[in-house]
Amino acid sequence: MGLIVQKFGGSSVANAERVMNVANIVTETYKAGNDVIVVVSAQGDTTDDLIEKAREINTHASKREMDMLLSAGEQISISLLAMAIEKIGCPVVSMLGWQAGFQTNSAYSSARIKTIKANRVKAAVDKHQIVVVAGFQGINKYDDITTLGRGGSDTSAVALAAALHADKCQIFTDVEGVFTADPRKVPGAKKLTEITYDEMLELATLGAQVLNNRSVEMGKKYNVEIEVLSSLKRVPGTIVKEVANMEKMLVRGVTKDTNVARISIIDLPDIPGIAFRIFGKLAAKNINVDIILQSVGREGSKDIAFTVSMDCAEDAINLLNEIAELQGKNIVCDTEIAKVSVVGAGMETHPGAAAMMFEALYEQNINIQMISTSEIKISVLIDKADADKAVLAIHNKFIPTES
């Protein structure tokens, strides 16, 4: 009993059969006595198909027009889902982002939600209508349509749950929840019952790809209980909340990220401000730098290495070449690497966690190129070819497979 926001991604509504499946989940929740707001993404490959249509015409289309184009995708899926719910016989109304009151800034294609004027949604909920809301989209102050960027529907759902003080926000995906590692690669991977926002953030950043990061940040900020679960298999998922049941597990997950490039600058003059000039320039161009490592080089010089996501590597190198102090320096970019990480709030109080991780890698004869640690994670950079083997070995070390 209460108000539940349910979010379904593109694969969950990919065809008529899947749409009916979602309608069944929604109406079962409704018939159990809850009010339900559903947030949906565009069907299956719709967004990619629309992007392809645009590319055939203009590869440099303005972002305003791209947002106009792409937001048609959710318009199709919300109306189809509403029709499916009508067929089951429950009262329902679909709403576009602007109708549901999503007001954003004007950063087309990656807009931020400024506020949700949810009075229309609330009025419908008060009449016990199921409300089907288009995720991923809103309008700016010019009444132009904006989109929140890929994965934005998760954010739409959590933001709506926060605005309406919903009891829960359920994110339905094609996996059963958050696992300690990718279950397709690591046979012993376990589904977590609960996880904290911070742990989830680390896992999301590291490539677990279950839940959009901004949605987790928003959930943490407004204390929205988020559940990640499968739309195809009806079993309990993973609950993301402020304080999670620790389950006596040292780590929450082992992840790998192969979409990473390491850029090294060798033999820099050891003068003040050089690091600021490098990373300030990258930040100004919105290039996120992950691990940074500075080491003492030969006499009076130093080496700096850092990682960026693969698709930013070229831009980053071009920017470095603009810096006067780096003229003539040896700048090396390596993309044959992977970042493997263990995440878990339990590690904070367990000084041996890093050692356990390094031991697992040593046993597999895997060389560590860089190391980075935070309170709840340890990441290492290794050869891309060793990544799957490393994840398996580390997982087996921290989370032994039950016999």
374 binds a second copy (CB under 8 A): no
Q: Is 51 in the site for a second copy (CB under 8 A)?
A: no
Least CB distance from residue 87 to a second copy, whole Å? 4
| Distance in Å, CB of 23 to a second copy, minimum | 8
Told to check if 53 binds a second copy by CB under 8 A, we report: yes
Residues within window 208-267 making contact with a second copy, judged by CB under 8 A: none
Report the largest interatomic distance among the alpha carbons of the chain, rounded to a whole angstrom. Answer: 78
24 burial level (CB within 10 Å; 0-12, 13-18, 19+): middle
Q: Verify binding: residue 323, a second copy, rule CB under 8 A.
A: no
Phi/psi-derived region of residue 319, left when phi > 0, alpha when psi is between -120 and 50, beta in every other case: alpha
| Residues whose CB falls within 8 Å of the CB of residue 200, separated by 6 or more in sequence, listed in order | 178, 211, 216, 240
**Is there binding between residue 50 and a second copy (CB under 8 A)?**
yes
Nearest distance from C-beta of residue 131 to a second copy, angstroms: 13
**Rounded-to-integer distance, Cα 382 and Cα 202, Å:** 19
Joined tokens for residue 299: 């006499």
* Binding residues with a second copy: total (CB under 8 A): 38
Query: Which listed residue (37, 84, 169, 189) binds a second copy by CB under 8 A?
Result: 84
| Nearer to a second copy (CB atom), residue 145 or residue 228 | 145
Question: In this complex, which beta carbon is closest to a second copy, that of residue 58 or of residue 321?
Answer: 58
* Stretch binding a second copy (CB under 8 A), from 75-83, 211-219, 255-263, 274-282: 75-83
324 binds a second copy per the rule CB under 8 A: no
Closest to a second copy by CB, 69 vs 249, is 69
Q: One symbol per residue from 86 to 105: x for binding a second copy (CB under 8 A), - otherwise; what is it?
A: xx-----xx-x--x------
Of positions 21, 109, 110, 120, contacts a second copy by CB under 8 A? 120
138-197 binders of a second copy (CB under 8 A): 143-145
Task: Work out whether 66 is an interface residue with a second copy (CB under 8 A).
Answer: yes
| By the rule CB under 8 A, 72 interacts with a second copy | yes
Binding a second copy (rule: CB under 8 A), the pick from 11, 24, 29, 79 is: 79
Q: Which two tokens stand for residue 249?
A: 């597990």
Query: In the bound complex, what is the minimum distance in angstroms from residue 79's beta carbon to a second copy?
Result: 4
Binding interface with a second copy (CB under 8 A): 16, 19-20, 50, 53-54, 56-58, 60-62, 64-66, 68-69, 71-73, 75-76, 78-80, 82-84, 86-87, 93-94, 96, 99, 120, 143-145
